[in-house]
Amino acid sequence: MNFEKYPFEKLNELLEGITPNEKYELSALTIGEPKFQTPDFIQSELKENTSLLQKYPASAGENYLKEAMVNFVKNRFNVSLELNQIIPTFGTREVLFNFPQYVLFDKKNPIIAFTNPFYQIYEGAAIASRAEVIHIDLTKENDFKASLSDDELKKCDLVILNYPNNPTSAEMTKEELALWVKKALEFDFILVNDECYSEIYFDEATKPASLLEASIEAGNSEFKNVIVMNSISKRSSAPGLRSGFIAGDKEILEGYMKYRTYIGCAAPVPLQKAAAVAWNDDNHVEEFRKIYRKNFQIAQEILGITPPKATFYIWLEVEDELEFTKELFKEKHIKVLPGSFLGRNGIGKGYVRIALVENETKTREVLQRLKDFIDG
């Protein structure tokens, strides 16, 4: 298999040999990893259950974890799921990689479409599945919203959307997602939405919709051909818990669950205990949302950007993203991620991705440094 280098490896190569300004400490705005402590109540649950390390974890996940995830979906999206419509996963990276391999295995000439720019695991899954790729290009001209022609959709076996979107911070409404559900039914392809950023939003009135809600909106209450994935990593500042889920079409999930028994990536039971209490609580998530909301207020004040409705990313338009990244690192000791490392066929060129995952004080300092660089 010939996989592309990961964006962060490309970034290290781009910056190799550059001596940054030692006047400043390094500020890395590249990776989407929250820089906040995982809440104490989650840590305590983990510590109190270390004795359960003596048990093999069930591949299907413990029922209390599945019930916590079902409760989350009900409380957040007002969607009722049965236990056979959801499977706990070891975060979402592994499921985004192996689910396409499972569903495309029996296809003679599989075709997968996904949003571009993208989380690189989508491309890795396509390579591992020997699938032809159709890129769903997200540009300023289409408001970074996913769209394909009927002729393209007729070819697809699997489509992966990602809303709220990494890296552009764009959103699609429930009604817009419902149109995709109707196309999935019309042309009989599996439709996935990677919803890992669904809980990083800033206004209750415009909080992101789930593809599950959109499926019901489209009259598809059994979620035929519809799959969502979500994770606790951003929501609870707990990426180390590796707690995610895949939910939707129970017929697809029944076969996929059998496949998962061979993978061997079930989460250790103490982690499942800790994840369950995290999924069942929203108060701590609102506290994190307040921090991100404040960070974007600072970004609006200093950079003049319009805050997104969700995610913690700024998709900043620049003249030359590679030169911008190198010079910013050299002059201000700030790392950002060139958009062209996240896209293909020229998509992402002219942008850098900035992750606002630090506290208010650090965010203000580094964004002022960035503004000084831009103003030159």
Domain that holds residue 26: 7-37+284-375
Task: Give, in order, the Cα–Cα distances in Å from 213 to each of 9, 217, 241, 310, 360.
Answer: 37, 6, 27, 17, 34
Q: Are residues 267 and 176 in the same domain?
A: yes
Q: Which residue has the tokens 């959801």?
A: 86
Q: Which band of pLDDT confidence, cut at 50, 70 and 90, is reported for residue 2?
A: confident
Q: Are residues 205 and 71 in the same domain?
A: yes
The pTM assigned to this predicted structure is 0.96
Indicate which CATH number applies to the domain containing 165. 3.40.640.10
Greatest alpha-carbon span in the chain: 59
Q: Are residues 159 and 297 in the same domain?
A: no
Q: Identify whether 229 is part of a domain.
A: yes
Q: Are residues 185 and 303 in the same domain?
A: no
Q: Are residues 84 and 158 in the same domain?
A: yes
What's the pLDDT tens digit per position in 136-180?
A: 999 999 999 999 999 999 999 999 999 999 999 999 999 999 999
What's the pLDDT tens digit per position in 277-316?
A: 999 999 999 999 999 999 999 999 999 999 999 999 999 9
Q: Are residues 247 and 161 in the same domain?
A: yes
What's the pLDDT tens digit per position in 35-93?
A: 999 999 999 999 999 999 999 999 999 999 999 999 999 999 999 999 999 999 999 99
Query: With helix as H, strand as E and coil as C, how does 305-330 read?
Result: CCCCCECCEEEEECCCHHHHHHHHHH
Query: Per the structure block, which two tokens stand in for 84?
Result: 């056979």
Q: Identify whether 2 is part of a domain.
A: no
Q: Which of 270, 281, 284, 272 lies closest to 47 in space, CA to CA?
A: 270
Q: Are residues 69 and 208 in the same domain?
A: yes
